[in-house]
Amino acid sequence: MKQRFDVSKLIPEGYKAMYGVHTYLQGSGIDLGLLELVRLRVSQINGCAFCVAMHIPLGRKHGLGDHQINLVATWKEAPVFSERERAALAWAEALTVIVAQEVPAPLYARLQEHFSADEIAKLTLCIGEINTWNRLMLASSTPPALD
């Protein structure tokens, strides 16, 4: 696959702004392992090889176990996720696959059982962030770093 363009070089201010959102989320107080779990799952849904390859080692770095990483695509059936993680993954999927649908109220209610309003806002920003990164990497045909 040949890369079409490099976002960081063509629009460095836009890239810097996106990275600013990432930096904010990393220091937001939300567990970094949970953020990486969400980023990995959203990247799988969107088929972004660049981001999947990036978030697997970052997930490990931030405490995700091999079973969590290997089974995140089947999280609904896998017994290795906490109820908090399941609520976050369900929210991530609902906001990623949002074509002509509302975000279900019961899903939000479930999320409220495990997260404060502030945490929900930060988690939602994380989901928006990774969806944007996925789209940038897919549109630019940026290949995954495989070292």
CATH number at residue 45: 1.20.1290.10
In a domain, 147, yes or no: no
Read off the tokens for 113: 């059982």
Residues 57 and 144 sit within 8 Å (Cβ to Cβ): no
In a domain, 55, yes or no: yes
What's the rounded Cα separation, in Å, for the pair 41 and 71? Answer: 10
In a domain, 69, yes or no: yes
Read off the tokens for 141: 């045909």
- Say what the pLDDT of residue 104 is: 87
Residue for token pair 């960081």:
8
- Say what the pLDDT of residue 145 is: 85
- Say what the pLDDT of residue 99 is: 76
- Say what the pLDDT of residue 43 is: 98
What is the end-to-end Cα distance of the chain in Å, rounded?
Answer: 17
Residues 128 and 38 sit within 8 Å (Cβ to Cβ): no
Q: Please tell me the total count of domains within the chain.
A: 1
Read off the tokens for 132: 């944007």
Range of the domain at 34: 7-139
What are the pLDDT digits (tens) for 106-142? 999 999 999 999 999 999 999 999 999 999 999 999 9
| Percent of the chain scoring above 70 in pLDDT | 99
Angle between the 117-139 and 49-61 helix axes, to the nearest 10 degrees?
Answer: 140
- Say what the pLDDT of residue 102 is: 82
- Note the pTM of the prediction, 2 decimals: 0.94
Read off the tokens for 33: 């392992």
* Better-scored residue on pLDDT, 103 or 50: 50
- Say what the pLDDT of residue 147 is: 73
- Model confidence at 100: pLDDT above 70: no
Residues 111 and 22 sit within 8 Å (Cβ to Cβ): no
What's the rounded Cα separation, in Å, for the pair 96 and 74? Answer: 16
In a domain, 2, yes or no: no
What are the pLDDT digits (tens) for 30-57? 999 999 999 999 999 999 999 999 999 9
In a domain, 93, yes or no: yes
Q: Based on the number of CB atoms within 10 Å of its own CB, is 61 exposed (0-12), middle (13-18) or buried (19 or more)?
A: exposed
Q: Which residue, 48, 23, 53, 50, is CA-closest to 35?
A: 23
